[in-house]
Amino acid sequence: MSVPANSPTSCACAAAPSPKRRIASELAELAVGYSLILAVIWTPHPLQHWLYFIALGWFIVSIVLSFEGWKAMGCCVAGFWRSSWVIGVALILAAIATFFASSLHTLHHPGGPVQWVRAFAGYTIWSLMQQLLLQGYFLARLLRIVPKANLAAIISAGVFALAHLPNPILTPLTLIWGLTACLVFIRSRNVYPLAIAHAIFGIAVAITIPASILHNMHVGLGYIDYNPTPLDLSQSHHASPSLPR
């Protein structure tokens, strides 16, 4: 029995993409987005600035076109307290790291409150942006593609860590944190506690590990070309997957 071309059933079938086509589309989005991130990390100035804005535009358009609501990206109240324990763990680990760094005379910080805000305000905002990219973009799409949630978390953490090469400190730390954050997000679906914990971890690493080793949190080409500068984690100096180094 044939279905009329203008029937509702025919329109619905024609409008709904096949699962294979949807998976291919999301894989292409992930591949393009991650390629742009790597291009930003490994491209010198001034081309890096252009690539940064191209990458930013790509993610904005990609998110808008497939937007499923803020809750799907983890930007909601629900699940906050369920995953807030990661903030406590971050504070404890940061305190331990600070204690040992003080004992080893490697502890360094910007100075007074104003200097702390100037040094770390941009990084705190960037911590939220990184978690939105990692969980709200990459993990959310991989959960629709990969059959097992834990595998999706492992893949997301892997690509997150690879984006921090060749920094010998940040690469393993982001692998551990990325996997932990993804597993927590799968259970709580809230990105805010993860962003707060990320900021705490990042600041603790910055003030406890010598810049000669950490290269002021730079990654990619920024790590290789690093020249010693005073501690500064503002957005203009922090080299991360979507920011110029």
Q: Is the Cα dihedral 226, 230, 236, 239 positive or negative?
A: positive
DSSP 34-99: HHHHHHHHH--TTHHHHHHHHHHHHHHHHHHHT---TTTTT-SSTTTGGGTHHHHHHHHHHHHHHH
* Omega before 193 within 30 of 0, i.e. cis: no
The residue type at 143: L
Mean pLDDT of 237-245: 36
pTM: 0.84
Band of residue 17 on the pLDDT scale cut at 50, 70, 90: low
Residue 59 has pLDDT above 80, yes or no: yes
pLDDT digits (tens, 9 = 90+) for 222-236: 999 998 755 444 333
Provide the 3-class DSSP secondary structure of residue 240.
strand
Q: Are 127 and 201 in contact (CB under 8 A)?
A: no
DSSP string, 176-192: HHHHHHHHHHHHH---H
Q: What does the pLDDT average to over 147-172?
A: 96
Q: pLDDT digits over 189-221, tens only?
A: 999 999 999 999 999 999 999 988 999 899 999
The domain limits of the chain are 70-224
pLDDT, tens digit, 9 for 90 and up, residues 62-83:
999 988 888 888 898 888 999 9
